[in-house]
């Protein structure tokens, strides 16, 4: 909204395009069991509010996205797998980057695909609560990587505070959202005891599906281990 006030001369058409066209880092088809139910196409948004030291998708924070697409253009690309989605109760997983920042885009996409496809969001939840609220009626399931719930560890690893993560986790718990919470063991940042403490907090909130996993440090990069 600040942007609209400062740049009041922008045309209505451009404003419409700005609100519906989003930047992406890539699209991966035919994923099974890793990004939601059934056969899933993973769609990665560009842009993330965090600065994780072992970022799994550093291209989402580079200056240039892979492409800009409207909801209609994205729908046109991913519907090639409609039969797989419907047969396996799969669909599209939005990740990134941070998909909750693009709640308007995802809402438009839902209108295009209807209820035939599952929409899953892979998120850090470190976003304003209004963005999560807007997505509650849109998303079928959520995959939340909480990093570590100790505020000092979280800040050291991501560069940000985790108050919003906790608020938004409570919101998902209160609304009984279908949610899996991921709690990683992060080399040089947390310990198994820290992970156990985060798991305990998440369990007390009421979540049952909790995935504990490790980042494994290699000489070249951190790999994602399940
Ligand atoms: S939340 Fe994900 S995309 Fe964002 S910086 Fe961390 S690892 Fe990278």
- In degrees rounded to 5, what are phi and psi of residue 16? -60, -45
Query: Residue 196's pLDDT is what?
Result: 98
The domain defined by 23-225 folds into TIM Barrel (3.20.20)
What is the atom index within ligand 1 of the atom nearest the CA of 97?
Answer: 3
Q: Tell me, what's the pLDDT at 95?
A: 96
Give the per-residue pLDDT at 50.
97
* Residue from 46, 57, 65, 121 to probe ligand 1 pocket by mutation (most atoms less than 8 Å from CB): 57
Which residue among 23, 43, 48 has the greatest number of ligand 1 atoms within 8 angstroms of its CB, and so is best to mutate?
Answer: 48
Tokens 């807007």, residue?
Answer: 134
Pocket test for ligand 1, best of 26, 43, 60 (most atoms within 8 A of CB): 60
**Distance (Å, whole) CA 164 – CA 49:** 12
Predicted local distance difference test score (pLDDT) of residue 2 = 28
Global confidence as pTM: 0.88
Residue that is written with structure tokens 């939005």 in the block: 94
What pLDDT tens digit does each residue of the chain (226 aa) get? 323 333 333 344 444 444 589 999 999 999 987 788 899 999 999 999 999 999 989 999 888 999 999 999 999 999 999 999 999 999 999 999 999 999 999 999 999 999 999 999 999 999 999 999 999 999 999 999 999 999 999 999 999 999 999 999 999 999 999 999 999 999 999 999 999 999 999 999 999 999 999 987 654 443 443 3
The region, left, alpha or beta by phi > 0 then psi within -120 to 50, assigned to residue 43 is beta
What's residue 161's pLDDT?
98
How remote is the CA of residue 6 from the centroid of ligand 1, in Å? 30
State the pLDDT at residue 56: 84
Q: What is the pLDDT of residue 17?
A: 43
Ligand 1 pocket, CB under 6 A: 48, 50-52, 55-57, 60, 96-97, 124
Helix (H, G, I), strand (E, B) or coil at 39: strand
Predicted confidence at residue 216, as pLDDT, reads: 72
User: What integer pLDDT is reported at residue 123 of this predicted model?
Assistant: 98
Closest CA to 45 of 111, 116, 135: 135
Atom of ligand 1 nearest to the CA of 51: 5
Tokens (6 digits) for 5? 């006030």
- The confidence score (pLDDT) of residue 5 equals 31
């Amino acid at each position: 909204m600040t942007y609209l006030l400062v740049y009041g001369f922008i045309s209505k058409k451009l404003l419409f395009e700005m609100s519906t066209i989003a930047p992406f880092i890539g699209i991966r088809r035919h994923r099974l069991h890793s990004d939601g139910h059934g056969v899933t196409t993973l769609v990665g948004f560009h842009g993330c509010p965090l600065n994780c030291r072992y970022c799994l998708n550093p291209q989402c924070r580079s200056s240039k996205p892979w492409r800009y697409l409207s909801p209609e253009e994205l729908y046109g690309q991913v519907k090639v797998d409609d039969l797989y989605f419907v047969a396996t109760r799969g669909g599209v997983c939005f990740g990134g980057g941070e998909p909750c920042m693009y709640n308007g885009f995802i809402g438009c996409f839902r209108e295009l695909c209807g209820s035939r496809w599952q929409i899953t969001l892979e998120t850090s939840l470190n976003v304003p609560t209004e963005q999560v609220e807007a997505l509650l009626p849109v998303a079928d399931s959520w995959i939340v990587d909480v990093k570590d719930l100790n505020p000092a560890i979280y800040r050291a690893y991501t560069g940000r505070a985790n108050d919003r993560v906790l608020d938004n986790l409570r919101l998902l718990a209160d609304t009984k959202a279908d949610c899996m919470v991921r709690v990683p063991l992060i080399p040089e940042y947390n310990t198994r005891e820290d992970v156990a403490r985060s798991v305990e907090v998440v369990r007390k909130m009421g979540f049952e599906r909790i995935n504990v996993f490790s980042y494994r440090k290699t000489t070249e990069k951190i790999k994602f281990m399940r």
